[in-house]
Amino acid sequence: MNKSTIVITGVAGFIGMHVALKLLEQGHHIVGIDNLSAYYDINLKKSRLNILYPYTEFEFYNSDISNKDSLDLIFSSIKTPPYVINLAAQPGVRYSIENPYIYVDTNVCGFINILECCRLYNCPHLVYASSSSVYGGNKILPFSEYHPVDHPVSLYAATKRANELMAHTYSHLFHLPTTGLRFFTVYGPWGRPDMSLFTFTKSIFEGKAIKLFNNGLSMRDFTYIDDIVEATILVLKTPPQATKFSDYNLNPATSWGPFQIINIGNNNPVSLIEYIRVLENSIGKKAIIEYYPAQMGDLDETNADNTKLQELTSFVPKVDLAHGIDQFTRWYRSFYNSPN
């Protein structure tokens, strides 16, 4: 890749900011796009951007990927064919049950705009965020890219699976190299306020009860942000190649075109109740817990089979849960001036 121009959508987001920062440190030119939506605290997003602004190779556009004309103007201003990391999306499993249309606007319509810009402006590799939620009703663990993913249990998961299918079509029709990354429960400093680590931490600091669904028995493959960033960049530098395989035994993770799907997880799931115990140790304060049944759209367990990622990049996750949670709680105390 050498020193390349890389478009990162969702650059004010949790993963987007961290990926952009690492690539800027490596000397790349970053074109960041984000609509600064009010889904959660805009001030947190602006604070993330403030970390990136001092870099001379960073430029930012306040724009929405669902706005085709705006996106086209941005891409047309870039002098060389850019790599693209699409992290812009409407997140949240539970939110998708109550607000379905915004998921179609951003995650589906917005993604076709990304694909078209990549096609028209000769993108050498599109990497985009999928999700472990696409595994849905699959009960075979650990989750492998070679497993079928035809039974999503939330609209959010369905839109992410739609992204994978749309990307495959463009890889087939236009030979556009695409890689979908199935992220597994990302956590760490600057995380989203709607995610479990953030909400649990906030409740403990404020002495409020944590609402723990599925009686705390759900298992999650928590993956630290630094591991996500390193793996994402390694994959970006390794575009997929066309693969030969039998047309009678089609592989859902790859294709005859330059297309691939890759898990990025920790491959070490823990229960939510165990997760809270580690968090209590980090904060030095006990949690107040209220137990509830499972919610619609939630998976019982996630667990990533990282074999394909390791074969492609030799990457192995490095950060254990206790260290990762410590890093988050230190950031939380500092950012929110929480002395307790």
d(CA 220, CA 132) in angstroms, rounded, equals: 10
Tell me which residue of 119, 114, 118 sits closest to 33, measured CA to CA: 114
Under a CB-based contact definition with an 8 Å cutoff, are residues 58 and 20 in contact? Answer: yes
Residue given tokens 């790859």 in the structure block: 254
User: Once rounded to an integer, what is the mean pLDDT over residues 3-16?
Assistant: 97
> Of 83, 156, 275, 332, which is the active-site residue?
156
pLDDT above 90 for 31: yes
DSSP state of 141: S
Under a CB-based contact definition with an 8 Å cutoff, are residues 2 and 80 in contact? Answer: no
Partners of 92 in the beta sheet? none
Burial state string for 105-137 with b = 16 or more CB within 10 A and e = fewer than 16: ebbbebbbbbbbbbeebebbbbbbbbbbbbbbe
Under a CB-based contact definition with an 8 Å cutoff, are residues 221 and 231 in contact? Answer: no
Q: What six digits make up the tokens of 94?
A: 């539970």
Tell me which residue of 3, 26, 239, 243 sits closest to 123, measured CA to CA: 239
Q: What six digits make up the tokens of 124?
A: 């050498």
Partners of 58 in the beta sheet? 30
Q: State phi, psi for 328 to the nearest 5 degrees.
A: -65, -45
Q: State phi, psi for 39 to the nearest 5 degrees.
A: -55, -35
For residue 315, the tally of other CB atoms under 10 A from its CB is: 18
d(CA 52, CA 60) in angstroms, rounded, equals: 9
Q: What six digits make up the tokens of 43?
A: 């001030």
The question of whether 55 is a catalytic residue gets the answer no
Q: What percent of the chain has pLDDT over 90?
A: 86
The DSSP bridge pattern shows strands 219-220 and 209-212 to be unpaired
Label residue 215 by pLDDT band (50, 70, 90): confident
Q: What six digits make up the tokens of 18?
A: 């961290």
Q: What six digits make up the tokens of 249?
A: 């035994």
d(CA 272, CA 276) in angstroms, rounded, equals: 6
pLDDT above 70 for 86: yes
Domain range 5-191+222-266+303-318, CATH class: alpha beta
Tell me which residue of 69, 65, 2, 76 sits closest to 34, measured CA to CA: 65
Look at residue 338 in the predicted model and tell me its pLDDT: 63
Under a CB-based contact definition with an 8 Å cutoff, are residues 182 and 264 in contact? Answer: yes
User: Once rounded to an integer, what is the mean pLDDT over residues 52-65?
Assistant: 98
d(CA 242, CA 249) in angstroms, rounded, equals: 16
Question: For the chain, which residues make up each domain, given as ranges?
Answer: 5-191+222-266+303-318
Under a CB-based contact definition with an 8 Å cutoff, are residues 225 and 301 in contact? Answer: no
Total residues found in the chain within this entry: 340
Q: What is the pLDDT of residues 262-315, one digit of tens each?
A: 999 999 999 999 999 999 999 999 999 999 888 877 788 999 999 999 999 999
**pTM for the model:** 0.95
| Mean pLDDT computed over every residue of the chain | 94
Tell me which residue of 252, 258, 274, 288 sits closest to 321, measured CA to CA: 274
Which region among 51-55, 149-153, 259-263 has the lowest average model confidence (pLDDT)?
Answer: 149-153
- Those residues with Cβ within 8 angstroms of residue 102's Cβ, 6 or more apart along the chain or in another chain: 90
